[in-house]
Amino acid sequence: MKVKSLLFSWFNKRKLKYHNQMKKINKCPECRGHGFIITSSTYLANSLECYACNSTGRYSEWEQENSDQS
């Protein structure tokens, strides 16, 4: 259980750091500023419009969409 929570906090720290980096360059963390997400699934289209930033690729858009998550 302890290892699990340690891993969880490590993951969250990395995620936060990554989000801060993306904020600096104003790029959506989900699609890395591309506006779409490449999937490896053979059952779906290879690229999907990014739901998190409305396929704008901008961090500011992503932040608005995700602001209620605190």
22 makes contact with Zn ion (CB under 5 A): no
DSSP letter assigned to residue 19: H
C-alpha 56/C-alpha 50 separation (Å) is 8
C-alpha 56/C-alpha 49 separation (Å) is 9
52 makes contact with Zn ion (CB under 5 A): yes
Q: Which two tokens stand for residue 62?
A: 């992503």
Query: CB-wise, 28 or 39, nearer to Zn ion?
Result: 28
Query: CB-wise, 48 or 52, nearer to Zn ion?
Result: 52
Minimum distance from residue 28 beta carbon to Zn ion (Å): 3
| Identity at 63, one-letter amino acid code | E
Chain residues binding Zn ion by CB under 5 A are 28, 30-31, 50, 52-53
